[in-house]
Amino acid sequence: GAGVSQSPSNKVTEKGKDVELRCDPISGHTALYWYRQRLGQGLEFLIYFQGNSAPDKSGLPSDRFSAERTGESVSTLTIQRTQQEDSAVYLCASSPWGVGTYEQYFGPGTRLTVT
Amino acid sequence: GIQVEQSPPDLILQEGANSTLRCNFSDSVNNLQWFHQNPWGQLINLFYIPSGTKQNGRLSATTVATERYSLLYISSSQTTDSGVYFCAVEGEGGANSKLTFGKGITLSVRP
């Protein structure tokens, strides 16, 4: 079946511009996560959605970052007034819920470069 | 929050050799996963193993939850095994939400 998909795969933007990144989770997965990976580093958690519960935003680094999810499908991560330190790969993951496993499956990521 | 340490940070092997990668964590866990990040950046799921032992072909993993570590074994390594191996955990008491990642182990397998 189809895996997690993300778009765009690459995004180059000028400092100060807003960007929007998209994630399509695996069908039937009710949990969705965003992570960030800086060059040569491990992944950092950003935000988590599960069903109709309030999202866990505890990993968002500043109020320039926000995310939305439509029901149990598509999610968008928005970064306003981008800064050079926002340059990273942004990865989305999804997982099933309440069926004995919470294994997370990752998309290919969006590589964001802020010039 | 929970801490994850992976060792060794770098590993160079000759094709055909075996290796053991280690992941230590600082607290009890609900979830532990091993991933392989290939040279194109894709994270590939290897094992979902909060406890016990699993095997998949040349790879196997063991998590000893009571002693707070997990081991990933690679046997008869191949050049395609090269890449970065991440261990990621979610601490017990969490809501099956975020994973905390280690810094990764960079494996290079030489022909």
pLDDT digits (tens, 9 = 90+) for A38-90: 988 889 999 999 888 889 999 999 999 999 998 878 999 999 999 999 999 99
Residue bearing tokens 């991933």:
B35
* Contact criterion met (CB below 8 Å) for B13 and B111: no
Q: What is the pLDDT of residue B95?
A: 62
Q: Show the tokens assigned to B73.
A: 């074994």
CB-CB: which of B33, B42, B88 is closest to A108? B42
Beta bridge partners of B45: B35
Distances (CA, A) of B92 to A113, B25, B32, B103: 36, 12, 11, 21
Instruction: Test A106 with B95 for CB contact under 8 angstroms.
Output: no
Of A41, A42, A104, the CB nearest to B33: A104
What pLDDT, on the 0 to 100 scale, is given for residue A41? Answer: 85
- Residue B39 DSSP code: T
CA of B12 vs chain A CAs: smallest distance (Å): 18
Give per-residue pLDDT as tens, B57-94.
999 999 999 999 999 999 999 999 999 999 999 987 66
φ, ψ (nearest 5 deg) of residue A81: 50, 60
B56: which strand partners?
Answer: B59
A105/B99 touch (CB, cutoff 8 Å), yes or no: no
Instruction: Choose among A43, A50, A102: nearest Cβ to B31.
Output: A102
- Nearest chain A residue to B87 by CA distance is A42
Cβ–Cβ gap A109/B99 under 8 Å? no
Q: Cβ A89–B104 below 8 Å, yes or no?
A: no
Give burial (CB, 10 Å; 0-12/13-18/19+) of A93: buried
The C-alpha atoms of residue A25 and residue A77 are separated, in whole angstroms, by 13
Give me chain A's average pLDDT, please. Answer: 92
Q: How far apart are CA A98 and CA A78, in angstroms?
A: 29
- Gap between the Cα atoms of A31 and A42, Å rounded: 21
On whether the CB atoms of residues A34 and A67 are closer than 8 A, the answer is yes
Q: Which residues pair with A45 in a beta bridge?
A: A35
Classify the C-alpha dihedral A10-A23-B101-A115 as positive or negative: positive
Per-residue pLDDT, A97: 75
Burial level of A23, CB count in 10 A (0-12/13-18/19+)? Answer: buried
